Structure 1
């Protein structure tokens, strides 16, 4: 039996107070069907965390959802209608509404589903008990699988049999560690049954696309402190499966040094610290992220002064380089480096190309600019414009 009235969210909860979201609920309910907020938005609201995506679930089939939305004057887009998902546009915002489903067949990467009118069946196809929570339009939480106690205890637990949940979608191996990093009680440790199931299904990770693995790794590394989860991933063989040649030795230091320098969590810095072979390809990183990763590694192992790194690439990159260099030396960075970073990031080269024309042009102009900039950087950014223009040829 579905457990209700265990908890009611405050009316001030952002998505409960959202008139556009409520308009979607009203459209479905006026047609005689039930609709609920589900998953991450409910989980995060209970924990008092920032909003996750606002998803909804209903006992109405997709075609009925579209009809009811149109009857209410709302736009309905069949974004994933074969999987039960319709996007309803209300107040210019899109809300994904998905029909209750049950799995008919799974192959570890995708599932064949059938529509259902049972919330419990819908909940059973989810991954963790803390994600199988629903809330009606008034904020009353409905807990069909007993996930609320797990959530309040910060316990990441697979629904029913971990082996079965993992074999339905092997990405759940990575999701387990990502959710542990974000939501688990850091002092509770990891559930032995879950780790055993993961260890016996690691080869399933090789069937997943690089895009899916990369997306999960980025979310994991963006957690406040992913180091404990990464350490367990390494211990049971997950880390080396997705990133051969990686090493989590620096993970804890990176998080500590970020805090020391008041640097925000940076998944690219943490990925650079872990390393591995052909990382950009294995995680299918965007070109801008792959380029940033290479910049961090080249700068960390290079000899460029940190003030110059800050001047050329900004304070965030400079802090990341300081952290990587500190990991190499296994010594915390001096806070005095923050002043060097500030000076470099705020420095502005006082010479423009037009200042050297027409005396210099083409390649000679570029060479002269580079020479003067080098002199100016070596002066600690203190050499003035007039002094630079008077410099003789090298």
Structure 2
């Protein structure tokens, strides 16, 4: 018998929520990412519970137990029950009645099998009792052991139910799949045939999935496959993934943490921020990275003019595009520039310069100071 364990499962709050349902005669089954990640020894964050209890019954039981119940998705059968500050998403067993590729009309069910068949991938249709015993209604354990991602039942039908599953397939494969084994050919054929359905999704949803995908340890094989089957160009016109693998290699060499935005910057493309509906903050940072990378400034000057993090990002991008090595010293150089303070102020020059001439002189002196590797003193610069 396969079991799962971990603090996420045995903590009193989660056990109390499960007991709340079971004591009333209902099922309480942990499901999806928490079970999958526990079996893969990956971190568990979100706690999802499937049950045959209806939403109104879940709310009633939670209140009787002194727990907070929030109807976060009551139309789709989901109630968030908060215990000890930890959110537990409890969803009634469901089966799809009608779908249009963006949203589904669902009916509640009393059968676990109905709930399992409406999920996306076999690896995500794994359930577990509160004591850790795993239920595998669709053969997901075998796929998980081989790190193989497969759509449940018919791939084309699963995609037509929700076109976001195209990107979720690639995202999950990037995080948990076996890159050396390749991807399921039936899945890729279905994706290629229905990639046009991505046009029906909101750009925000696409952007969220892309950033999650790019945060994987090495998303380059998956992104290359997305390009080959036409998905990458569909969502990011003009994107070029040739610099992604070199960038990931450089990040590992310098022991720099993965940055989805940096990896998005190396892909390029037209109107990226619009295509993915990025926030103003992300849009500005993306532009700063690419602008700094396209110049010739060294690590110290980039650190001084921007900040150490952006300086390292810019140099990583530049080296990835040019397929050139990058010494580890860029980290300390960028930090040194970030901490440097220009010793001359406008007040030092105001007696001799005014208006535009004052600004020009400040810039000239600053350039001398940077060219001296930040070594010239205030007196030397003013003499």
| TM class, shorter-length | over 0.9
Deviation at 1:283, TM superposition (A): 0.3
Query: Matched residues in 1 for 2:304 and 2:97: separation?
Result: 57
Matches within 5 A, 1:123-134: 123-134=116-127
Query: Matched residues in 2 for 1:381 and 1:283: separation?
Result: 40
Contact 1:166 1:201 in 2 (8 A): yes
Q: 1:169 aligns with which of 145, 162, 179?
A: 162
Query: Matched residues in 1 for 2:369 and 2:149: separation?
Result: 55
Residue 233 of structure 2 aligns to a residue whose secondary structure is helix
Residue 8 of structure 1 aligns to a residue whose secondary structure is coil
Partner of 2:22 in structure 1? 29
Establish whether residue 187 from structure 1 lines up as the match of residue 185 from structure 2: no
Residue 16 of structure 1 aligns to a residue whose secondary structure is helix
Structure 1 pair 368–104 and aligned structure 2 pair: CA distance change class (3 A): same
Structure 2 gap segments, 5+ residues each: none
Deviation at 1:187, TM superposition (A): 1.1
Deviation at 1:360, TM superposition (A): 8.2
Contact 1:202 1:238 in 2 (8 A): yes
Q: 1:43 aligns with which of 25, 36, 49?
A: 36
Q: Relative to structure 2, which stretch is displaced further, 335-344 or 191-200? A: 335-344
String of CA shifts for 1:152-175, please: whole Å, max 9, x gaps. 110011101111111111111111
Partner of 1:9 in structure 2? 4
Query: Matched residues in 2 for 1:75 and 1:359: separation?
Result: 69
Residue 383 of structure 1 aligns to a residue whose secondary structure is coil
Residue 245 of structure 1 aligns to a residue whose secondary structure is coil
Establish whether residue 117 from structure 1 lines up as the match of residue 110 from structure 2: yes
Deviation at 1:331, TM superposition (A): 1.9
Contact 1:61 1:99 in 2 (8 A): yes
Query: Matched residues in 1 for 2:172 and 2:121: separation?
Result: 9
Residue 250 of structure 1 aligns to a residue whose secondary structure is helix
Structure 1 gap segments, 5+ residues each: 1-5
Matches within 5 A, 1:87-102: 87-102=80-95
Q: 1:216 aligns with which of 187, 209, 214?
A: 209
Establish whether residue 178 from structure 1 lines up as the match of residue 161 from structure 2: no
Query: Matched residues in 2 for 1:134 and 1:350: separation?
Result: 63
Residue 102 of structure 1 aligns to a residue whose secondary structure is strand
Partner of 1:265 in structure 2? 258
Deviation at 1:131, TM superposition (A): 0.6
Partner of 2:282 in structure 1? 289
Deviation at 1:310, TM superposition (A): 1.6
Deviation at 1:261, TM superposition (A): 1.7
Residue 200 of structure 1 aligns to a residue whose secondary structure is helix
Partner of 2:138 in structure 1? 145
Query: Matched residues in 1 for 2:85 and 2:155: separation?
Result: 40
String of CA shifts for 1:346-366, please: whole Å, max 9, x gaps. 323345667778998987776
Contact 1:300 1:325 in 2 (8 A): yes
Establish whether residue 349 from structure 1 lines up as the match of residue 342 from structure 2: yes
Query: Matched residues in 2 for 1:92 and 1:43: separation?
Result: 23
Deviation at 1:378, TM superposition (A): 2.2
Structure 1 pair 70–298 and aligned structure 2 pair: CA distance change class (3 A): same
* Structure with the bigger percentage of helix: 2
Deviation at 1:260, TM superposition (A): 1.6
Contact 1:89 1:95 in 2 (8 A): yes
Query: Matched residues in 1 for 2:347 and 2:362: separation?
Result: 10
Partner of 1:56 in structure 2? 49
Instruction: Report the TM-score when normalising by structure 2.
Output: 0.94
Structure 1 pair 386–156 and aligned structure 2 pair: CA distance change class (3 A): same
Query: Matched residues in 2 for 1:30 and 1:363: separation?
Result: 78
Query: Matched residues in 2 for 1:42 and 1:359: separation?
Result: 72
- Give aligned pairs, total: 383
Deviation at 1:337, TM superposition (A): 3.2
When the two chains are superposed, the root-mean-square deviation of aligned CA atoms in Å is 2.1
String of CA shifts for 1:116-166, please: whole Å, max 9, x gaps. 111111111111011111111111111111101111110011101111111
Contact 2:102 2:162 in 1 (8 A): yes
Partner of 1:225 in structure 2? 218
Partner of 1:3 in structure 2? none
Contact 2:47 2:87 in 1 (8 A): no
Query: Matched residues in 1 for 2:349 and 2:144: separation?
Result: 66
String of CA shifts for 1:276-301, please: whole Å, max 9, x gaps. 11110010011111111111111111
